[in-house]
Amino acid sequence: MAIENILMPQLGESVTEGTIEKWLVKPGDTVNKYDPLAEVNTDKVNAEIPSSFSGTIKELVAQEGETLDVGSIVCVIETEEASSDASEPQIAASPAKPEPANEMPAEGSLQPTSPIKQDKGESGRYSPAVLRLSQENNIDLSLVEGSGRGGRITRKDLLAIIESGEMPKAAPVQEEATSKQTPTPTPTKSEPVQQPKTEVPVMAGDIEIPVTGVRRAIANNMLRSKHEAPHAWMTVEVDVTNLVAYRDSLKDEFKQKEGFNLTYFAFFVKAVSQALKEFPMMNSMWAGDKIIQKKDINISIAVATEDSLFVPVINHADEKTIKGIGRDIQELATKVRTGKLKSSEMQGGTFTVNNTGSFGSVQSMGIINYPQAAILQVESIVKRPVIMNGGMIAARDMVNLCLSLDHRVLDGLVCGRFLARVKEILENVSAENTSIY
């Protein structure tokens, strides 16, 4: 018999940790290779951890709701293979990389602002994401109480501190005197104050709703986006009277022929994908020391359920017809609402279009779908009186397009031109100019 460890897998690009949402097995259960062991969620995807071996579950190391770094042990399996090891499992996390106790981190490194205490066990080891957040926000990790295994500090702990705005700072460090004749005076150290956790009073009649894994993942990604990306906003008003008339003239025949509805949203996604080809900077992402301009135009669309929001992706949207985009929208939305959407179908998006108009919204400011550089909110189409050329007033079908942008990547000039181009495409939709096939 042999003892094998199952580790937290990396479930997406740049994912550094995951949360065990629900165990699907218990100690003593027999599993086959590739059988699902647990449901896990990250700030990018929800997925299952498969078994890497066939055998018997010996121990569930991680608890439900616990967040672990990628590569951490989540459970132990006893396999049929012969092993020279002792019959009892020897479980040990990878040792932390040793650091000189008195060495100060180099400027710009991902080390925390104060030396790491090595006598803290699990709580003295930090993931790259935790180190980066602590460095960017000058958080003294020695003052943070971790919620992970063995008191380990997780990225979720730091995001909660950043959101509260009450960040424990590193105490001033005494510098060595550079000259014996002019010694540097010793700075006065201030006593650090541990900030209390925010408590919400629960009164009689209040309803406590547990935070699901999906809701937690949404919250984490939205918080990261608002924290890291400096948001700016632009809005344009578009006259889609001709688009509405054209779509309404086709919808019944289209539904009978194709088997699904021809929606306004398909026209908007097509217009955006066309404009992205002409303004490729809009199809970019921030990568720290560089900006990545993506070659493929993959449109993320927001699809809501009763308690969650999923963002599946229409790949190569610029290469598809309005009919093809409409079919993708219908199929992806159906998968979301029937629970059949795969995590791979939510990856690779380069720009998000959100149909907020389906809820009756007329103006909104979306949070960017990190790490993308922009999100476009398509609002409700409403009839409004509009002053036409010659001073005549007419009832027209109008819609607002609201763009949220990452100001590290994009500036007003390119965004204004992009929105103007989307507006031009939509206002010129007609039987003569536009084919849905």
- Please list the active-site residues: 407, 411
- The DSSP call for residue 85 is S
Task: Name which of 210, 107, 216, 204 is nearest 155 in CA terms.
Answer: 216
By the 10 Å C-beta count (0-12 exposed, 13-18 middle, 19+ buried), 173 is classed as: exposed
Contact 63, 366 (CB under 8 A): no
Cα–Cα distance measured from residue 330 to residue 265, given in angstroms and rounded to the nearest whole number:
11
Phi, psi of 232 (to 5 degrees): -135, 165
DSSP state, residue 203: -
Alpha carbons 49 and 45: distance in angstroms, whole number = 12
b/e map of 408-431 (b: 16 or more CB within 10 Å)?
ebbeeebbeebbebbbebbeebee
Q: CB count, 10 Å around CB of 1?
A: 13
In the chain, the amino acid numbered 342 is K
CB 127 within 8 A of CB 17: yes
Q: Which helix (H) or strand (E) holds 31?
A: strand 30-31
Alpha-helical runs (H) found in 279-384: 322-337
